[in-house]
C-alpha cells in the first residue's frame, strides 16, 4: 500500500512539474469573448472560448494537460502518432467531447469514440456549438503514391470563433491552398523537413497569405528543431502587419 501511494504521489508530482514547464498562454479578443491559446507540445494546442475547450491533436500524455479544462471538442488532423495519439486520448477525460476528424482518423478510433466523431473531408464545413470548422487540404509536394501526407487524407482546419478566423496547418508543405488563404487572424504553421516544409517555404507562404498573427509550431524534424528565429526575421522584414509569436513548443 505504501509503495502504491508513493507511486501515485510521484505521478502527480511529474504531472505538476510538466504543467509548470508549459509555455504561457496568449489571449485574443473576439467580438464574442476572448480566445485563450495554450501551446502544449509540437503540433498540440488548446483553444478556450466561452464555455468551449478545444483540444487539437492531443499528444504527449495526459500530464501535458494538467490544470486545463477537459475537452468539449477534439480536432485531429491526420493518422500519424503525433496527431492521432490513442494513448493520450485514452488517458484524458473525453466523455463530453465531440470529435471532428478526417475519415482516415475516424476509422482508427475505438468504437466508443467513433460514436462521437464527425468525419469531414477537405472543403466541408461543420458547425459545433457556434464554432464553424472548415476542413482544408494538407499534403506533401510533389504528389506521389508513396507520399507521407497524400492529398485528401488529412485535414487542416479554419475555425471561426466569434469574428476571428484561426488556421491550423496540419502536416502540409507549401501548397497553393495555403497561399490562397484570406482573412486569417491567427495561423499555426508547421515547418519540419522532411515531413512538411522548410523554414523558407513557410515564411514565403505566410508573407503571401498575410495572417495577422502567426505561430510557428510543429518544428521538430529529423535534424532537430527548425530555426524559427530565421522564420521570424524573414516575416518581420517582408510582411508589415504580420506578428510572429515564438513559443516554446518543446518544454523539457
Per-domain residue ranges of the chain: 2-244
Copy the grid coordinates of residue 174: 507549401
CA-to-CA dists, residue 111 to 21, 54, 62, 116, angstroms: 34, 21, 21, 9
What confidence score (pLDDT) does residue 145 get? 84
Which of 45, 26, 51 lies closest to 36 in space, CA to CA?
26
Q: What would the mean pLDDT of 195-217 be, rounded to a whole number? A: 98
Copy the grid coordinates of residue 96: 463530453
Q: What is the mean pLDDT of the chain?
A: 93
The region of weakest confidence among 108-112, 217-221, 248-252 is 248-252
Residue 13 has pLDDT above 50, yes or no: no
Q: Residue 21's pLDDT band (boundaries 50, 70, 90)?
A: confident
User: Packing angle between helix 228-238 and helix 199-209, nearest 10 degrees?
Assistant: 30
Give the separation between CA 165 and CA 187, rounded to whole angstroms. Answer: 9
Residue pair 131/137 in contact by the 8 Å Cβ criterion:
no
The pTM of the full predicted model, rounded to 2 decimals, is 0.92
110-119 pLDDT per residue, tens: 999 999 999 9
For residue 163, how many C-alpha atoms fall within 13 Å in the half-sphere facing its CB?
Answer: 4
Give the separation between CA 71 and CA 97, rounded to whole angstroms. Answer: 6
Residue 95 has pLDDT above 70, yes or no: yes
Q: What would the mean pLDDT of 150-162 be, rounded to a whole number? A: 98
Around Cβ 45, how many Cβ atoms within 10 Å?
A: 24
The CATH fold assigned to 2-244 is: Metallo-beta-lactamase; Chain A (3.60.15)
Residue 247 has pLDDT above 60, yes or no: yes
Q: Which residue has the cell 498575410?
A: 210
Query: Please, which residues have CB within 8 angstroms of residue 167's CB and are 6 or more apart in sequence?
Result: 156, 157, 158, 181, 184, 186, 187, 188, 189, 211
Greater confidence (239 vs 93) lies with 93
What confidence score (pLDDT) does residue 20 get? 58
What confidence score (pLDDT) does residue 17 get? 47
Amino acid at each position: 500500500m505504501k509503495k502504491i501511494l508513493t507511486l501515485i504521489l510521484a505521478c502527480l508530482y511529474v504531472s505538476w512539474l510538466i504543467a509548470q514547464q508549459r509555455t504561457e498562454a496568449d489571449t485574443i479578443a473576439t467580438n464574442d469573448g476572448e480566445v485563450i491559446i495554450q501551446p502544449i507540445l509540437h503540433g498540440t494546442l488548446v483553444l478556450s472560448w466561452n464555455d468551449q475547450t478545444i483540444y487539437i491533436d492531443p499528444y504527449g500524455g495526459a500530464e501535458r494537460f494538467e490544470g486545463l479544462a477537459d475537452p468539449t471538442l477534439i480536432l485531429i488532423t491526420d493518422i500519424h502518432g503525433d496527431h492521432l495519439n490513442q494513448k493520450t486520448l485514452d488517458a484524458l477525460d473525453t466523455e463530453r467531447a465531440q470529435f471532428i476528424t478526417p475519415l482516415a482518423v475516424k476509422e482508427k478510433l475505438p468504437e466508443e469514440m467513433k460514436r462521437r466523431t464527425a468525419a469531414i473531408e477537405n472543403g466541408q464545413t461543420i458547425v459545433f456549438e457556434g464554432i464553424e470548422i472548415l476542413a482544408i487540404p494538407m499534403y506533401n509536394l510533389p504528389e506521389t503514391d508513396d507520399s507521407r501526407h497524400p492529398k485528401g487524407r488529412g485535414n487542416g482546419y479554419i475555425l471561426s470563433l466569434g469574428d476571428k478566423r484561426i488556421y491550423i496547418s496540419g502536416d502540409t508543405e507549401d501548397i497553393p491552398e495555403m497561399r490562397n488563404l484570406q482573412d486569417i487572424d491567427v495561423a499555426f504553421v508547421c515547418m519540419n523537413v522532411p515531413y512538411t516544409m522548410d523554414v523558407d517555404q513557410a515564411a514565403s507562404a505566410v508573407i503571401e497569405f498575410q495572417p495577422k498573427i502567426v505561430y510557428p509550431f510543429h518544428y521538430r524534424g529529423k535534424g532537430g528543431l527548425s530555426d524559427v528565429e530565421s522564420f521570424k526575421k524573414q516575416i518581420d522584414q517582408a510582411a508589415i502587419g504580420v506578428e510572429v509569436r515564438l513559443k516554446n513548443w518543446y518544454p523539457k
